[in-house]
């Protein structure tokens, strides 16, 4: 819990306040892995969550961008223009 306080203080540059952050950061009871646990230390879970989500987001983003670039289909703008000029039969 002190680690979280330290991180919060580092981020916001605050002074050490009384133990108010015990209320803000709840004690996790159940969760984490496949099996339910009695106690979960929140900090590593938060760290790995953020890292994992950022990582998977980056991977998917770059992958989708690369595929979109490599497999781009050229669509001739003339097709739309010609279709616009023609009678709309639908």
Partner 1 sequence: MSTEFAKIFELIVAASLINNFVFTRFLGLCIFFGVSRKMETAVGMSITFTSVMMISAALSWLVFQYVMVPLDITFLKIIVFIGIVAGFVQASDTVMRKVSPGLYYKLGIYLALISTNCIILAVPLINASEHYSFIESISFALGSGLGFALALIIMASIREKLELADIPAPFKGTPIAFIVTGLIALAFTGFSGLIKL
Q: List interacting residues with partner 1 (CB under 8 A).
A: 31-34, 40, 44-45, 48-49, 52-53, 56-57, 60, 63-64, 67-68, 71-73
CB of 67 to partner 1, least distance (A): 5
The continuous run of DSSP H or E covering 30 comes out as none
2, 42 Cβ separation under 8 angstroms = no
CB of 78 to partner 1, least distance (A): 18
38, 55 Cβ separation under 8 angstroms = no
Nearer of residues 66 and 82 to partner 1, judged by Cβ: 66
């Amino acid at each position: 819990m002190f680690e979280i306080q330290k991180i919060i203080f580092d981020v916001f540059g605050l002074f050490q306040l009384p133990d108010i952050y015990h209320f803000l950061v709840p004690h996790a009871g159940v969760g984490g892995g496949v099996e339910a646990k009695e106690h979960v230390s929140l900090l590593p879970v938060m760290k790995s969550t953020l890292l994992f989500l950022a990582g998977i987001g980056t991977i998917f983003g770059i992958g989708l961008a690369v595929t979109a670039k490599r497999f781009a289909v050229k669509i001739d703008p003339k097709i739309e223009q010609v279709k616009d000029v023609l009678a709309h039969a639908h």
